[in-house]
Structure 1
């Protein structure tokens, strides 16, 4: 009987998943290190050959066959209740730990194991929204990766034009904020008045985990266009008094939620302060990626505000197609949109009472101050469609960072400058306000 190519592919996929399951069970049963390493290598090789459907079947297997045994857990709970001591507690801890955690540790014995496990978590995160049953598997991987990628194992490296080409190529690929348009553009971003730093891990020596691009300038930058201008004049770095962090890009989807950015910014600031004595101001020029969507979602409320009808008319006119959404608002909307942006950043919240905007959460948690909101700061189609062309300066005052961080984490306070607070107060919104900590 002749089988169709599609049926042969299905059979081959199921055979691979079955073989991978056998290897994983054998790996957990093996006690010899050389044999374990060989099994781990073969298992990772089989995983690399799986397509999306095969991965989904393997993830099902991880969730089903490598979870804690409920009966064993209940017996351990009963034993601890009957005799709460160190021995029964250790037995309970062993019972509740999913076998897949030990499986992941053993898979990590193979060359390239860490990179593959990072990739596996990335593959799970990509489908997690529609597969909540995989959340325990994702949590187990995240638990281990947080340990393996803690700050003690990570090194900061400066990236310049002498960095190996295969690493530079990845900067072009991973840049997530302002697209790098080829090698000439990258060379400009690594010029004398620019700095680029990245975190690396010894298990992924050629893979940046996160990188930041810095412009050395005079004064607080209010627009990204001059920073990215191909015809700009390169400044002597010793003349700079300000370091502008204008792009921060996470590089590994499988490490999403494992934060490196707070360490990165503080360490880069320390490096720059040591290298360039005149640089005393450290700030970002950041997008407001959730602002335009928030405006669209709150159109009815906006029409009730002073100047809101003009904003609503612009939103209605420029909805839909990308070409329309990239139409820059006119200067007559400057004041109402700046006020609405301040309100959005300070008062729009998620269910956990944290700011709705992801970039704001990142910098405020790191201890920055919401310093200034800039009009027509990013006139690119992406900048207009996401942020109405607005960008924000988050100021990192190194002697205030820890205090601001503690206030945000422990009390939910958002530290802002007086000028931003004044903008936000102009908006009379029927929602409860966050507690603010205006800067003096």
Structure 2
């Protein structure tokens, strides 16, 4: 998901406070089927750039309490229709808990690939003369989207619309966003949105730089998985619920 920038970047992603897990098959012993990159950190991460650039921690102490799944990559196009990511994540959680029992929080730092496209279309149809519409059309460049570009009011509105996109915009009763579908089906909940979560050109083009944390509460994963599969219920945490009005939450039930 996040391309590597040379050997130093590769070395950092394989450092003492990082993990990389993969599924292999005997027929392709030297090539993974799918792999996930994990950062072991103190608390939840809100920026992929900060996560990738954080100095290496040579030892894991008791303050290392969180595992962040920040990149999941399918390597075989022919297996695209087979969902292996959920099995890999569950296996990885068991491995990490065995190795580092002090880690008690499992979450992702995930992209929102279709948000900007959806938002642009929505605003053009509903609010064509809104100043925000012109900002979204503008070919944004790499870097933090600061108040120099967006006012605080516009930032709040964009985050609210992003919450709406993840929680209310659906296809066949499931979220239209493919990453959201994947994690919610696995039993995760939507934890929070992160402004300037990915300030790369790709991140800005996809979602205006916003990223989302999905939270895997191990005591409720199966319950939430069943609720999503059988009732199409989307589980959300308190931080995310603050970005959606009670009316919108009720309308989705």
TM-score (norm 2): 0.91
Q: 1:357 aligns with which of 163, 177, 180?
A: 177
Alignment deviations for residues 157-207 of structure 1 (CA, whole Å, 9 cap, x no partner): xxxxxxxxxxxxxxxxxxxx1101232211110000000000011111111
- What's the secondary structure of 2:26's corresponding residue? coil
C-alpha distance 213-398 of structure 1, shift in aligned 2 (>3 A): same
353, 360, 369: which is aligned to 2:189?
Answer: 369
SS in 2 for 1:185: helix
With over 3 angstroms needed to count, the CA separation of the structure-2 counterparts of 1:217 and 1:298, relative to structure 1, is same
Aligned pairs for 1:246-325 within 5 A: 246-300=70-124, 303=127, 309-316=130-137, 318-319=138-139, 324=140
Question: Which residue number in structure 2 is paired with residue 344 of structure 1?
Answer: 165
What number of residue pairs does the alignment pair up?
246
What SS class does the counterpart of residue 360 from structure 1 fall into? helix
Q: Which has the higher contact order (CA 8 A, sep 6+)?
A: 2
Distance change (3 Å), C-alpha of 1:328 and 1:292 = farther
Task: Determine whether 1:226 maps to 2:69.
Answer: no
Match of 1:334 in 2: 155
CA distance in 1, matches of 2:14, 2:109: 18
Q: Hey, which of these two has a bigger chunk of strand by percent? A: 2
Paired position in structure 2 for 1:128: none
Q: What's the CA shift string for 1:35-55, capped at 9, x where partnerless?
A: xxxxxxxxxxxxxxxxxxxxx
User: What is the Cα-based RMSD across aligned positions, in Å?
Assistant: 2.1
> 1:208-257: CA deviations, max 9, x gaps?
0110000010011111111111x724352234100000100010011001
Q: Deviations over 1:90-144 (max 9, x none)?
A: xxxxxxxxxxxxxxxxxxxxxxxxxxxxxxxxxxxxxxxxxxxxxxxxxxxxxxx
Q: Distance in 2 between matches of 1:272 and 1:263?
A: 14
Matched, 1:381 2:204: no
Question: Distance between the aligned counterparts of 1:200 and 1:344, measured in 2?
Answer: 35
Q: Residue 377 of structure 1: CA displacement?
A: 0.9
| Secondary structure at the counterpart of residue 245 of structure 1 | strand
Separation in structure 1 between the aligned mates of residue 126 and residue 206 of structure 2, nearest angstrom: 18
Residue 418 of structure 1, CA deviation: 2.4
- Three-state SS of the structure 2 residue aligned to 1:220 is coil
The CA deviation string for residues 37-96 of structure 1, in whole angstroms up to 9 with x for no partner, is: xxxxxxxxxxxxxxxxxxxxxxxxxxxxxxxxxxxxxxxxxxxxxxxxxxxxxxxxxxxx
Hey, which of these two has a bigger chunk of helix by percent? 1
Paired residues of 2:15 and 2:56 also in contact (CA < 8 A): no
Give the direction of change, closer, same or farther, for the CA distance of 1:327–1:233 in structure 2 (3 Å limit): closer
**1:310 Cα deviation after fit:** 3.8
Distance in 2 of aligned mates of 1:421 and 1:251: 35
> C-alpha separation between the residues in 1 aligned to 2:162 and 2:246?
11
| Cα deviation, residue 382, structure 1 | 0.5
Q: Normalising by structure 1, what TM-score?
A: 0.53
Cα 1:253/1:260, change in 2 over 3 Å: same
Relative distance call for 1:427 and 1:183 in structure 2 (3 A) is: farther
Structure 1 segments unaligned to the other structure (5+ residues): 1-176, 436-440
Based on CA coordinates, which of the two structures has the bigger radius of gyration?
A: 1
